[in-house]
A and B are shown apart, each in its own frame.
Chain A
Amino acid sequence: MTSAIGEPNAIAITFFLVFIVLSLGITVWASRKTRTAEHFYTAGKSVTAFQNGLALAGDYMSAASFLGIAGLVALSGFDGLIYSIGWLVGWPIVMFLIAEPLRNLGRYTFADVLAARLRQTPIRIAAAIGSLAVIAFYLIAQMVGAGNLIRLLFGLPYEAAVVIVGAVMLAYVLFGGMIATTWVQIIKAVLLLGGATLLALMVLSRFDFNPLALFAQASDMYGASVLSPGRQVSDPIDAVSLGLALMLGTAGLPHILMRFYTVPDARTARTSVGYATAFIGFFYLLTFVLGFGAMVLIGRDAITGIDAGGNMAAPLLAEAVGGTPFLGFISAVAFATILAVVAGLTLSGAATLSHDLWVSVVRGAKADQREQLVVARAATVLLAAVSILLGIAFKGQNVAYMVGLAFAIAASANFPALVLSIFWKRLTTAGAQSSMIVGTVSALLLIYLSPTIQVDILHNSGAWFPLRNPGIVSIPLSFVVAIGVSLLWPVASEARRFAELERQLHLGVESADELT
């Protein structure tokens, strides 16, 4: 099969330019409203539940979801679906454990929740380390994905593509802050959901709109094994470990947690998670059809022929069912997806650097609105430059693996401390701090010692740590450290402080300005 992939595609470029012009227009509009740090980080808490639901979905459905899962399913069938399902079940966890207390107790970053009841400085430093590690790996994955995608779709060199993504994202975040970033997410989520639905319908139209006929043909072509668990999860403990990291990682992603501060109250936060779960679940159900559709209509060899990782399965499928114009549309959607996720990540990184480190630690919360905004913007420029450099340095890395890494760190570094700080009275500063550091370090170390790095990348004969995903070790370890340290060295005043805050934690306060 010949494909237009790899040649400049006029329709893709047109769609893409329309998206850029539209989103930059929103940025100009948003920049007029972004006068304070409050606006920059939280869009002035003016986002509705439905909007935030879409924006959460936009932040969450990255290139790894759309291109990566479609490719994984196309190449390995059922195993790819384990990612879809694992990424979705994180949402009920966010809903039941995190969303409302987070909204009630924080201002700009999730570290606010811990800092409210524990000693600020050590907590914010530890939380910043964990957050920045997660953001760095997630950013690398998105930038590498963007570079490859643009190179394949538009015929641009990899480095130029990475610089373009960095520059456009910088414009959104720098001038439009959270308001522009939120609207970019909303537009992207609508485009992605619409595009994926259309693509799935066009695939199903070839099978009398009966998904089972599609799955049946897949198993006729590639054997019944495509419908059952296989090679990717050959080790039972590794499967559980992956499941844990995917599920708990969502509740530790800084750019997702930050979205709960853009809504006016806990009720809106809760309802927005309901919308987000609905959108994301629907999208992941579509990935069943897209993945198997690519497997049947394109064929595995043709997919790996274009990109060994299978990342081009969805664009190829679009070309097969809708010709070059539809390929252009889906390519533009995929690019918009990456751009929006990168913007969300950068904004949360800027919040961590300026709000957690500069304003709270360096300046002891004595910075005025003007200074906060200046520092936040400086941090944005810094992060954009770093992400462009990292994107170029990590050229050729596997995208899905890097995202898996980010989830494992998020689940080990941020999730245990955050959950314990919301529900456990006796948590101490030292406990939370050591949990975040041990979680980050153990996740990174175990990944380094895993077969993925030692055997696949460094070509050693064996690995010290047998599992590909560290979650099953590093997440419990992080919990044990937090609980152990807190029990061994109890701090009575911090337990009392929790009792004082409990009311606010569950009931919320009338005005968030009462919090500092």
Chain B
Amino acid sequence: MMVAYFGFILLVAFNKPLLGTLVTRGLSLGMLLGALVIIVAWILTWTYVRWANTHYDASLAKLRERR
């Protein structure tokens, strides 16, 4: 997540012309990447929630029993 976001911020900081490139009429590369950062955040958090609720919690329960 931090890689995606800081990649984006560093592009904003150091390579403005690249982000200003138009992908298609009305859509610059910067706006496309910005929207993608939000979508990546969705995918990452929900993947984690699903993984943790099924696998991680089960392992924790086992650890608790071994007290």
Binding site for B on A (CB under 8 A): 78, 81-82, 84-86, 88-89, 91-93, 95-96, 211-219, 224-225, 227-230, 233, 236-237, 239-240, 243, 247, 267, 270-271, 273-274, 277-278, 281, 284-285, 288, 506-508
Contacts and interface: CB of A to CB of B under 8 A. Distances in A.
How many interface residues does chain B have, given as a range? Answer: 35 or more
The 8 closest A-B pairs by CB, nearest first: A228-B20, A216-B26, A236-B13, A227-B28, A212-B26, A243-B9, A215-B26, A274-B49
Contacts of B52: 267, 270
B20 A85 contact: no
Interface string B1-22: 1101110111011101101101
Nearest to A216: B26
B45 A274 contact: yes
A247 B5 contact: yes
A489 B28 CA distance: 52
Nearest to B48: A95
Given A224-B20, A507-B63, A78 B30 contact: yes
Contacts of A82: 9, 12, 34
Nearest to B17: A228
Classify the interface of chain A: helix, strand, loop or mixed.
helix
Given A95-B48, A267-B57, A270-B53, A212 B27 contact: yes
Max chain A C-beta neighbours (<10 A), residue from B12, B35, B37:
B12
Contacts of B42: 277-278, 281
A215 B6 CA distance: 25
Given A93-B1, A247-B5, A81 B31 contact: yes
Given A92-B45, A240-B6, 18 more contacts: A78-B30, A78-B31, A78-B34, A81-B31, A84-B34, A95-B49, A217-B26, A218-B26, A224-B20, A227-B27, A228-B30, A233-B12, A237-B13, A243-B6, A274-B48, A277-B42, A277-B46, A278-B46
Contacts of B30: 78, 227-229
Given A274-B45, A277-B42, A229 B34 contact: no
Nearest to A207: B26
A101 to B, nearest CB: 13
Contacts of B19: 78, 228-229
Interface string B39-67: 10110111011001100010010011000
B45 A91 contact: yes
B21 to A, nearest CB: 8
B64 to A, nearest CB: 6
Given A214-B26, A233-B12, A236-B14, A92 B1 contact: yes
B29 to A, nearest CB: 8
A228 B28 contact: yes
Contact of A507 (B27, B28, B60): B60
